[in-house]
Amino acid sequence: MANKDKRKYSSIIVDGVAQAPSRAMLHAVGFEDEDFKKSQVGIASTWSMVTPCNMHINKLADNAAEGVDAVGGKAVIFNTITVSDGISMGTPGMRYSLVSREVIADSIETVTSAQGFDALVTIGGCDKNMPGCLIAMARLNRPSIFVYGGTIKPGAKRRDIVSVFEAVGGVAGGTVSEAELKEVEETAIPGPGSCGGMYTANTMASAIEALGMSLPNSSAQEAVSEDKRNDCYRAGEAVLELIRQDIKPSDIMTRKAFENAITVVIALGGSTNAVLHLLAMAHSANVKLELDDFTRVGARVPLLADVKPSGKYLMSELIAIGGIQPLMKILLDAGLLHGDCMTVTGKTMAENLAGVTPYPADQDIVRPLDNPIKKDSHLVILYGNLAPTGAVAKITGKEGLSFTGSARVFESEETALAAVLDDTVVKGDVIVIRHEGPVGGPGMREMLSPTGAIMGKGMGKDVALITDGRFSGGSHGFVVGHVTPEAAVGGPIAIIKDGDSITIDAESKQLKLDISQQEIDQRLSQWTEPELKEKRGTLAKYAKLVCSASEGAVTDKF
């Protein structure tokens, strides 16, 4: 392959007399004459001091750039945004969290296309960084590798951010003093890295590695570690090899690869957000993926990892026994992974896993296949008269497999949280939080504050919660999110009344309002469309463009 062919995009920007102005500007940012003959690799960094998840990524971007330059490429670092879910949680600012996924994808696509990069390395930390990066990489379809910024180290007494949210509930329940809350607050977050359980960041990093778009072990490294620095450097080297072999995301992000990602998410007990994000990533990759695929794959894949939030262990403790590679080898050997899928190493998944060392015999973080935590998926897709186009539940079985209770309806997360904290919510209630969907929010906020308060007050088995919003990966308990159609577009969740009986059944996969269909139809006939909460700006545009959560809540499905 001629060198110009390797520079499929950058040559248009920098070759020839007519492009002298382009070269002049690039000289000013450090290009030498010989750099114009090299493949240009964009390094998309999500660094900012907004959140500990991303505060170290500028240095990791430098490591990736060094890897590119060492093997004859020309690295160009650029930034995109991040917002902090943990900081904005429970506030109006959280409406921008899911929106940021689209902003990240759009900005990476924009810069890469405008600047003519031949390949791409993206580095993400907080939750929406990862799917945002992958959506952009799929759209661009240029040789690409994703690097996870890494997980945070545990806080004092093995604490993490969810410890703080649950301590808030403990104060309300009288089991935690304000002094104890202050001590938890000051010790839970010791430094850089993404939240420490199998919450959304670690879930999505693991899913992307299983998808084949990260180097082996990228998902299972601490943010502050030599392993993570090496991971970034090797990604820089590896992307040049992808250019040489002309391996693109479309060669890797296939339907079978998405099934591998779903399988690993289930085995790890991952976040419900994985459903939303994998649907969105598949859309960008032109791969047909639906809610029912999670049910189909989940019927044969057991939950094996005893990790937070519903389990005991943190990501750093899983890393210490080998990360997710030995788990993937177990799944591969059992016929639960497609081993023939191409990956960013230029090898297949089976080839990558061939020499993986098994877990230590005495570990109890990952269960054997014949003794799972749950024999099938904890991610349960529910349908029924409350969710005609689907809802997503996270049910490990620890809280039971069914719940029937009396509806207590709230029009926002804030009012629901207040009712939990002031004892308005009682055992047997099904909390209904509506008008928090992609359109109604707008932005589909995560309900970690109310679920954390419920758990902190010791009501995890006694209270259920359903919403057209979504949940943090740190949420656990009897929770159902992504209820579609959402209230703002006239879904049945809009017509629930206080005191209505609601049944959640994970075995029959039903979410039901226990009234007659005639009564449901009568209430829906009286429903009127609410005004959009935002008339200008980012959220207004998002509400106009976004599709249903059951389709990934993407903004380019026309």
Q: Exposed, middle or buried, 530 (CB in 10 Å: 0-12/13-18/19+)?
A: middle
**Distance, CA of 231 to CA of 491 (rounded, Å):** 45
Structure tokens at 88: 């904005």
- CA distances (Å), 518 to each of 227, 259, 430, 491, 515, in order? 61, 40, 22, 16, 8
Q: What number of helices (H) and strands (E) belong to the chain?
A: 22, 12
> What is d(CA 11, CA 454) in angstroms, rounded to the nearest whole number?
57
Q: Measure the CA–CA gap between 501 and 510, rounded to whole angstroms.
A: 14
Please check whether residue 160 is in contact with residue 153, taking contact to mean a CB–CB distance below 8 angstroms: no
For residue 110, the 8-state DSSP code is H
Buried b (16+ CB within 10 A) or exposed e, 107-124: bbbebbeebbbbbbbbbb
236 contacts 65 by C-beta, under 8 angstroms: yes
- Angle (CA) 27-29-35 rounded to 5° is 55
Q: Which residues of 296-319 are buried (b: 16+ CB within 10 A; e: fewer)?
A: ebbeebbbbbbbbbbbebbbbbbb
Q: In angstroms, rounded to a whole number, what is the distance separating the alpha carbons of residues 82 and 2?
A: 38
Helix (H, G, I), strand (E, B) or coil at 402: strand
Q: Strands, DSSP E only, in 412-500?
A: 429-433, 464-467, 478-481
CA–CA dist 134, 199 (Å, integer): 18
Q: Examine residue 485 and say whether the peptide bond preceding it is cis (omega within 30 degrees of 0).
A: yes
Contact 60, 147 (CB under 8 A): yes
Q: Residue 123 forms beta bridges with which residues?
A: 45, 147
Q: In what order do the strands lie in the sheet with 74-79?
A: 74-79, 40-45, 119-124, 144-148
**Burial (CB count within 10 angstroms: exposed 0-12, middle 13-18, buried 19+), residue 542:** buried
Q: Any catalytic annotation for residue 402?
A: no
Rounded to whole angstroms, the Cα distance separating 438 from 432 reads 16
Judge whether 131 and 277 are in contact, CB under 8 Å: yes
Question: In whole angstroms, what separates CA 72 from the centre of its chain?
Answer: 34
Largest CA distance in the chain: 75
**Given 39, 206, 310, 472, the catalytic residue:** 472
* Polymer length of the chain: 558
Let me know if 185 is exposed, middle or buried by CB neighbors in 10 A (0-12, 13-18, 19+): middle
Residues that are catalytic: 472
